[in-house]
Structure 1
């Protein structure tokens, strides 16, 4: 046990300026160390497990004499219990650093997850959709929370207000919340169970999406108005109008047309090969081109140094609103994607083509595994004849004075 020195007053301690170790008393082994630079710091000198150790207690005067004595007493109490206070403090600091390193907000984790996973997503639009839904619905509730503290109560606050009103959006949002929280757990930012999981958890608290969802449909144009619409569309100038015309003639999705590039087309063979990266089913799709579609393509201007058929002014893809705006400018409520339904209705109601021919023309994924296993071919020749007939239907003569009349369009999937 260190010899107990005379107990100095705070006034006397404050006057200690000579370099060296000055015992201040009150607690055995407590010293004020004065450095050559003039700086002063508290040191507790003690024997720990038979070894003399010097333990720093902070600088003077930030740590007062009274506080230094309290710290020294606490350290000696730990030594008496068989605990090394120096190692204990080191472990506490290490734990604090680890805790601080793991302190990430939900928004920080979501941003990092999106950045990590975005290269996997086929459509660049998915990244923006992830960001938009989280910013609109999740961040106001959990964005600034530490991700380790996000629990069921917060998840319910995010989902409940929109679960019945915007079911499809809420369903996707739940999956995104679950993915971000799983990512955070793997990275060591949280250790609790995932409160956004569905099976055996949220499915006990929220109704099944397919029981409450009002399925959203695309506005489609009635079959008998399509030819009149094409007349007015072909009279409109601009690449947006031409892109919409090609989409209608090929029954393709907007993104497939807006991203179309000249090397994908063989005008001599009248075919268009859409790479799997732009297809919803992630599978290459060959499209037979009708004479009307080939004529449209041959008339398109070619932009030097640009592969895109329909480049924007910045030589990038047209936005997904470009084709919609063409129809809005024509005072129509139908949307471009709805023409796929118009085509499907025409094929089933006005022709004798088999269902699978129309479905393959639309590049729909086959839900029936047995049917998918047996459908090996492309039915390309049959699809070519069907697309030729579709183009002929769209070009049929109009009655005198015929024109497109704005109307409430039917809803289509």
Structure 2
């Protein structure tokens, strides 16, 4: 005889689990939704299998379904896989491929698209791939993550997010009723103690000397790095810059939305030094490409390594002459191209009186609409122009 009655099921309101016996539970969610699950265990593995919504499945039918599930489990039949197969529900492996195919066209970086699916196929598909996407549970995901959680913390965090994306997709497609209980999974994993790595940057007090050394000789990598420093732009935005984006008469560079991290067009006011740099770049213009900084391979842009090479060369030269090189004091690593954005931001905060909103917009960081409303767009552009001129003057002071 079960512990629940039709009346008690109807009157139950508080979120939680209400046991009927033999593994059958009435589950009430935080928003009041009621559903049935049956808890079964086979070969040391415990599973919760959904039996449907309590609003559609009465208590008597829930008991019958629970009995049927237990009998199938004892006969070695997986009722979830059986149900998924008959309903056309994909395996987790197939779901990964479908999610990747649907999202890849919207990702601006092909490298990210490749890494996205490679991470899942390397660390998740071997253990979860053959399961129906409806049968992937918190315990299975937790065990999958635990295998690399401490050894490869950054990869594990990305894997966690990507598994969750696949499961949320399955919910949206109607292949499962609910997503993963991520807070439960997180609590069941050991605490990661790995220190997050930042892009190593150069103290702004050392920048004028560095710029002087950078300009002692001319190469495509050095010119591109100088452009990145003078504009405080991301290296990828500089490497893919085209002549059509530059208005040297108006002293602006307009980066299209599809190349911006925030997905919005960004107008960069150019200092006189930056304009002069791009005027010099006209001597390096190639007929076969519109790229301002063409790479060695025909029609291809420069690589990130090309911008990093002059920093490493100047660092090594400084050490050979008995200098201290160009290290980030906190990181103990050689400064990176992206790190000069941090150099710029620290300099603005410590050496100028420009508002944070101006500095953040110069870096194309997202800022609140409320903050934007406090400034006129024209004022921000002119303020940024003043700021970038002050920055360029400091760089060569």
Query: For the superposition of Structure 1 and Structure 2, which TM-score range results when normalised by the shorter chain?
Result: 0.5 to 0.7
SS in 2 for 1:170: helix
Decide which of 277, 280, 285 is 1:302's aligned counterpart: 285
Correspondence for 2:179: 194
With structure 1 as the length reference, what TM-score do the two structures score? 0.63
1:137 aligns with 2:123: yes
* 1:227 matched to 2:208: yes
When residues 113 and 329 of structure 1 are mapped into structure 2, their CA distance, relative to the original with a 3 A threshold, is farther
**Distance across 1 between alignment mates of 2:259 and 2:128:** 34
Name the SS for the 2:377 alignment partner. coil
Aligned positions of 1:173-188 closer than 5 A: 173-184=159-170
Note closer, same or farther for the CA distance 1:324–1:127 as it changes in structure 2 (3 Å cut).
same
Q: Structure 2: which 5+ runs fail to align?
A: 1-80, 316-325, 327-333
Aligned residue runs from structure 1 range 319-358, under 5 A: 319-331=303-315, 332=326, 333-358=334-359
Change over 3 Å in CA distance of 1:147–1:322 after alignment to 2: farther
Q: Indicate the residue corresponding to 2:384 in structure 1.
A: 383
**Distance in 1, Cα, partners of 2:118 & 2:82:** 34
Corresponding residue of 2:371: 371
TM-score normalised to structure 2 length = 0.65
Unaligned runs of 5+ in 1: 1-94, 397-413
- Is the 1:167–1:214 Cα contact (8 Å) retained in structure 2? no
What is the number of equivalent residue pairs in this alignment?
Answer: 296
Residues 260-292 of structure 1: CA deviation (Å, up to 9, x unaligned): 111111001111011111112222111111111
Q: Secondary structure at the match of 2:93?
A: helix
The answer to whether the 8 Å contact 1:147/1:184 transfers is: yes
SS at match of 1:218: coil
TM-align CA RMSD: 3.1
Cα pair distance change 1:329/1:128, threshold 3 Å: farther
Task: State which structure, 1 or 2, has the greater radius of gyration over its C-alpha atoms.
Answer: 1
Q: Is the 8 A contact 1:141 1:157 kept in 2?
A: no
Match of 1:403 in 2: none
Contact 2:221 2:307 in 1 (8 A): yes
**Native 8 Å contact 2:288 2:299 kept in 1:** no
- Show CA shifts across 1:9-64 (max 9, x none): xxxxxxxxxxxxxxxxxxxxxxxxxxxxxxxxxxxxxxxxxxxxxxxxxxxxxxxx
